[in-house]
Structure 1
């Protein structure tokens, strides 16, 4: 099915539109606090405010005034988008939906008092809390690298200034220089997908630095859409991309940011650019709230409620939910399920069985788009995959162009769904 903005939003809100009218309550409005203003948090805040018709007080806590989407940030690196085209603000959520948008860092959660602490001081009370903070990095995952080194060896896994830095470094590479990516282990946030990023870097280098080399040090034996990417690299960027998997030392990597050296199983590579994407975990607020299993926050698929606190729902990358990938589409889909569950709990509105969907698009070269996706349902154990699809190798150019154009329509649709 081809997705455009209208079709995406229409299909997404069908279930919400059918919800029963809210109950009339005599007491003060119930309070929902949402931490994180991305695909999960912004969507949940908007749907709760919109569908409750003012019956629920909604506060959205997000430190950035302009939010840059991880999805399509690789296209900025490749030269297909301007950075401004992936930046979005929260004015419509505040003005049209009555959401109290607080631009500050959430630093802690008191689950007994049911309050969220802010870096700027003060606490925000809640009846239900939705946490959608994205990812943080596992300290020491790549020996020699820490977030203190991200100015020299950027991760660019939180879009915005890191994306700008990585692009500037690529543009400044010496002729015939070397770009090294240290790829992450599973599970990891995608987008910005590592292998789409490789494609976008190769696209830029082919046009501007055609003798440059790209090396991927990869701890995983395989990855999503691997045959499609490898087919595309051979077709568009022959001889430029070398992937070193675990059989050849890709899981034994250390870096030296001061000398810009990467040690891959004893072989030292001098890098012009080194893009380190470490192992990941739930955003730190989940740890502060005490709702993780160590790295991720386990949830009940039917409602996205934390398995450790029924008054907290966790969305998107931070959640340990089962079969869904850590994507923006997934977070947006999960947000609608959580919003419906929260409304049901606080106003008595009807709650329908949870259903989810996801599609991940990737651009390999101009008009050469591929995708993978699936539908899911909630079980008592997890969110379980029902069926799926993937682009085929050898597809003709018209099909690949349609797939890319579909992704552009989806981007317009999901960002409207998130930010109004």
Structure 2
């Protein structure tokens, strides 16, 4: 009995290190599994947030994002229209860091799926057990002759929020009364389907109150667009005679070229000269996803619906605008919803936490005038083939002012809630 007690005393006083040394290395010294998240927007920030929060320290999470703060694309039109200041749509990563997430403010320049590593701009390689990519969108600059990366200062796209948003805002404010604001709308698919048309509404609101002799011309390759009847009702009601929308069939196929020097936009049959020209180009998945071979011939990334894992590279997950997400639109709400499903799948894979069939959701509010917002939304489920719509809703024309005002208040509340859900 004395020998047994002495043995226990020795083990107790030898310390945790000695006790661990007596165990198999794979059990005692196993490091936490590592998740690297590339991209700090709605998808990436949410995924990092939920993995760190719900794994309670059992998974090491690293978020790679070159920017020190993130400006949301959603609600950026509200800034252009004068309903928000720029600071209110810009968010830091400080609270994510407080959760124990390591924030690396560098560009991810390469991925080695075989070695399971991400290369940073300084050459450092980050190992991972699971990688989550939220690379957002890039533009197909070669599809409109004369419009390239060097054109965006003269004709801003303002479809990656930040300095471009400020530039378009400032150009609008500097435009003469009686000037022409020209928008070149994008073809499907693209980020935030109602976004260009909410922007038209916000520009119209600003012009009506500050430069009422001005006009807006929308050159659109599409024959219809999201919430079309609702936007057109609002333009007629609030901005009668100010907004002209020309669909692709009236443009002989759409815009073919632009010339930044003369601020002109050319279709096969006609030339339009604008005082401010907002070109929103065709879009595709972000560069790093394409260069890693995660995009198919469409330029977008196919995923396994239930887990958001790449169909082309096991062990890599994708969330947000870069994905082929079935019936889900490309939106901040969608990215947030997909990221939660992805986080659950990654936690289950790495630490055997519980996993449930994911449910997805999206709602998009569009402000068309002060205290007047319209909305569209749906719920979705993962099938073997795609993320499939289960049910949905959309505002109706002719709704009461009080209902539309409630929508606008709801949108403000949603923005506060979802940005906290994303960025902590």
TM-score, normalised with respect to structure 1: 0.93
Please tell me whether the aligned partners of residues 70 and 191 of structure 1 are also in contact (alpha carbons under 8 angstroms).
Answer: no
In the alignment, the residues of structure 2 paired with residue 142 and residue 392 of structure 1 have an alpha-carbon distance, to the nearest angstrom, of: 35
The one-character-per-residue Cα deviations of 1:190-240 (angstroms, maximum 9, x if unpaired) are: 177000000000000001111111000000110110000000000000000
1:214 aligns with 2:216: yes
Q: Which runs of structure 1 show a deviation greater than 2 angstroms over 4 or more consecutive aligned residues?
A: none
Tell me how far 1:385 sits from its aligned partner: 0.4
Aligned residue in 2 for 1:293: 296
Please tell me whether the aligned partners of residues 35 and 60 of structure 1 are also in contact (alpha carbons under 8 angstroms).
Answer: yes
Please tell me whether the aligned partners of residues 194 and 227 of structure 2 are also in contact (alpha carbons under 8 angstroms).
Answer: no
Q: Larger radius of gyration, structure 1 or 2?
A: 2
Structure 2 residue corresponding to 1:241, chosen from 240, 243, 248? 243
Tell me how far 1:250 sits from its aligned partner: 6.5
Structure 2 residue corresponding to 1:345, chosen from 332, 349, 353? 349
Structure 1 counterpart SS, 2:303: strand
Aligned residue in 2 for 1:128: 130
In the alignment, the residues of structure 2 paired with residue 143 and residue 235 of structure 1 have an alpha-carbon distance, to the nearest angstrom, of: 36
In the alignment, the residues of structure 2 paired with residue 101 and residue 192 of structure 1 have an alpha-carbon distance, to the nearest angstrom, of: 32
Q: Which runs of 5+ in 2 are unaligned?
A: 1-26
Tell me how far 1:78 sits from its aligned partner: 0.2
Please tell me whether the aligned partners of residues 157 and 192 of structure 1 are also in contact (alpha carbons under 8 angstroms).
Answer: no
Aligned residue in 2 for 1:256: 259
**Change beyond 3 A, Cα 1:57–1:191:** farther
Structure 1 residue corresponding to 2:88, chosen from 80, 85, 88? 85
**Change beyond 3 A, Cα 1:284–1:116:** same
**Change beyond 3 A, Cα 1:25–1:77:** farther
Q: How many residues align?
A: 396
Structure 2 residue corresponding to 1:384, chosen from 376, 382, 388? 388
In the alignment, the residues of structure 2 paired with residue 389 and residue 26 of structure 1 have an alpha-carbon distance, to the nearest angstrom, of: 52
The one-character-per-residue Cα deviations of 1:148-183 (angstroms, maximum 9, x if unpaired) are: 100000000011100000011111112211010000
Structure 2 counterpart SS, 1:37: coil
In the alignment, the residues of structure 2 paired with residue 98 and residue 114 of structure 1 have an alpha-carbon distance, to the nearest angstrom, of: 22
Task: Give the root-mean-square deviation of aligned CA atoms.
Answer: 1.2
Q: Greater CA deviation, 59-68 or 188-197?
A: 188-197
Please tell me whether the aligned partners of residues 218 and 250 of structure 1 are also in contact (alpha carbons under 8 angstroms).
Answer: no
Structure 2 counterpart SS, 1:387: strand
Structure 2 residue corresponding to 1:160, chosen from 157, 162, 165? 162
Structure 1 counterpart SS, 2:42: coil
Aligned residue in 2 for 1:367: 371
Please tell me whether the aligned partners of residues 194 and 226 of structure 2 are also in contact (alpha carbons under 8 angstroms).
Answer: no
In the alignment, the residues of structure 2 paired with residue 56 and residue 303 of structure 1 have an alpha-carbon distance, to the nearest angstrom, of: 18
Alignment of structure 1 residues 134-173 onto 2, 5 Å: 134-173=136-175
Please tell me whether the aligned partners of residues 71 and 191 of structure 1 are also in contact (alpha carbons under 8 angstroms).
Answer: no
Aligned residue in 2 for 1:336: 340
Structure 1 counterpart SS, 2:142: coil
Structure 2 counterpart SS, 1:306: coil
Please tell me whether the aligned partners of residues 181 and 275 of structure 1 are also in contact (alpha carbons under 8 angstroms).
Answer: yes
Please tell me whether the aligned partners of residues 36 and 130 of structure 2 are also in contact (alpha carbons under 8 angstroms).
Answer: yes
Please tell me whether the aligned partners of residues 194 and 225 of structure 2 are also in contact (alpha carbons under 8 angstroms).
Answer: no
The one-character-per-residue Cα deviations of 1:28-85 (angstroms, maximum 9, x if unpaired) are: 1100000011110000001000100000000000111010000000000000000000
Structure 1 counterpart SS, 2:367: strand
1:72 aligns with 2:92: no
Structure 2 residue corresponding to 1:176, chosen from 175, 178, 181? 178
Which one scores higher on RCO, CA 8 angstroms, separation ≥ 6? 1
In the alignment, the residues of structure 1 paired with residue 378 and residue 164 of structure 2 have an alpha-carbon distance, to the nearest angstrom, of: 30
TM-score, normalised with respect to structure 2: 0.92
Aligned residue in 2 for 1:18: none
Structure 1 counterpart SS, 2:66: coil
In the alignment, the residues of structure 2 paired with residue 357 and residue 216 of structure 1 have an alpha-carbon distance, to the nearest angstrom, of: 30
